Amino acid sequence: MTAVSPELLTRFDVPGPRYTSYPTADRFVEAFGDGDYVLALQQRRLGTAAKALPLSIYVHIPFCESLCYYCACNKIITKHQDRADLYLRYLAREIDLHTAHCGKGQVVSQLHLGGGTPTFLSDDGLRDLMALLKSSFTLAPGGEYSIEVDPRTVDAQRLALLAQLGFNRLSFGVQDFDPEVQKAVHRIQPAEQVFALVESARNLGFESVNIDLIYGLPRQTSASFDRTLAQVAQLRPDRIALYAYAHLPDRFKPQRRIISADLPVASAKVGMLASSLDAFSQAGYVYVGMDHFALPTDALAIAKRQGRLHRNFQGYSTQPDCDLIGLGVSAIGRVGATYSQNAKTLDEYYDHLNQGRLPIVRGLALTRDDLVRRAAIMALMCQGELLFESMEQAWLIDFRQYFSAELAQLQDMADQGLVVLDAEGARVTDMGWYFVRGIAMVFDRYLQADRNRTRFSRII
């Protein structure tokens, strides 16, 4: 990986979207409701092109047994399993409503359980959920079936159950191995526990194990994070997701329990990122893009080499660009040229389903300009290459005229060595991959018109 100067990292330390979609979720409107979503599902059922592509499914499990102070997810803190049992009954209603509109037995090539803590569910709860999904959809052989795992909620026996149920990918939330940092964010999990679980996962034959890390947490220092990086290199997961902590206590109440004085200063955060890039490079990881790294043998690294990388609400994926069904409270979906989001509270979610309605509370029907810009942004984010002629043929536009203002901004980035700009198109350089979110932001019409970016995390 190309060495990146702290000066350049600091220059691009600005807020920006992660582009798991375009337009981004903050642009969804309440005028888009369940009727619009049902229409999109019915159009998919009738359209031969959409039916030929497999579905992706995301299931949100909002429950956690304890509160992590850094968390900005939609979650419910409880130790009562009966709340999860009730939730699963409502998930069944939501799934039934979906299959009524789009048909039973739709092929699924990607399934992801997120949260919250999906492993909050009991063994029976996990069995029931997977049985429900398998009876309503057809899980394709060779698909990606992943689940987020809190190491404190599983042991080798539970991992064996996950494998038996059909999951072939695990994502462990680690964040930091340092005991003082763990104490400051209220998430105690000894490194030995994580090492034992990863070893068990490998013995059970899981195809890929991901580790989530966060830099910029309270009480983190350059020295302590270097120790965590060394432990991760020793652990050698197939994938690593490295996120910058965004301290927004006004928006996320749990973060108010973090003492601001304990947070590392900006220069220290930049140093941690620089150290991480160097450590993962030395350990032989491929930089996939943004905050993701993978071993050269992992499917994600192979997909990047072969130009098959895609992006959806779960992040980078090897699966083809396809419709996404979002199930559960706050879940986001994409069907055709629409985005939709479920109710964010359990009461509202349950109320919609009690009325026999899908729990959609907001969304967006994309305009032609949205679709053109989404194609440009995803080409940069996934392939690192935006070819003018391909865009012109696909969308019947004069690229240089349509994006004249954007090309002027790209020229400035070309002068900084982040992109190569020529008559054929724009290509992200090795250095530019570290700032690909910033490059993609050039094509975001909403963001260019609205400079209030505080709603987003920082791009590095």
- Say if residue 454 carries a ligand binding annotation: no
- Say if residue 333 carries a ligand binding annotation: no
**How far is residue 228 from each of residues 197, 214, 233, 300, measured CA to CA in Å?**
17, 11, 9, 23
- Say if residue 138 carries a ligand binding annotation: no
The 3-state secondary structure of the chain reads CCCCCHHHHHHCCCECCCCCCCCCHHHCECCCCHHHHHHHHHHHHHCHHHHHCCEEEEEEECEECCCCCCCCCCCEECCCHHHHHHHHHHHHHHHHHHHHHHCCCEEEEEEEEEECCHHHCCHHHHHHHHHHHHHHEEEEEEEEEEEEECHHHCCHHHHHHHHHHCCCEEEEEEECCCHHHHHHCCCCCCHHHHHHHHHHHHHCCCCEEEEEEEECCCCCCHHHHHHHHHHHHHHCCCEEEEEECCCCCCCCHHHHHCCHHHCCCHHHHHHHHHHHHHHHHHCCCEEEECCEEECCCCHHHHHHHCCCCEEECCEEECCCCCCEEEECCCCEEEECCEEEEECCCHHHHHHHHHCCCCCEEEEEECCHHHHHHHHHHHHHHHHCEEEHHHHHHHHCCCHHHHCHHHHHHHHHHHHCCCEEECCCEEEECCCHHHHHHHHHHHHCHHHHHCCCCCCCCECC
- Say if residue 332 carries a ligand binding annotation: yes
- Say if residue 71 carries a ligand binding annotation: yes
- Say if residue 315 carries a ligand binding annotation: no
357: closest CA among 344, 348, 366?
348
- Say if residue 72 carries a ligand binding annotation: yes
CA–CA gap between residue 452 and residue 389 (Å, rounded): 33
| Cα 184–chain centre separation | 25
At 41, which amino acid appears?
L
CA–CA gap between residue 271 and residue 242 (Å, rounded): 14
The answer to whether residues 189 and 151 touch, using CB atoms and an 8 Å cutoff, is yes
- Say if residue 429 carries a ligand binding annotation: no
CA–CA gap between residue 330 and residue 313 (Å, rounded): 13
- Say if residue 145 carries a ligand binding annotation: no
Q: Which residues pair with 213 in a beta bridge?
A: 175, 242
The answer to whether residues 394 and 67 touch, using CB atoms and an 8 Å cutoff, is no
**The tokens of 50 are what?**
């959409």
- Say if residue 156 carries a ligand binding annotation: no
- Say if residue 73 carries a ligand binding annotation: no
Annotated binding site for S-adenosyl-L-methionine: 58, 70-72, 115-117, 148, 175, 187, 212, 246, 332
Q: Residues forming the annotated binding site for [4Fe-4S] cluster? A: 64, 68, 71
* Known binding-site residue numbers: 58, 64, 68, 70-72, 115-117, 148, 175, 187, 212, 246, 332
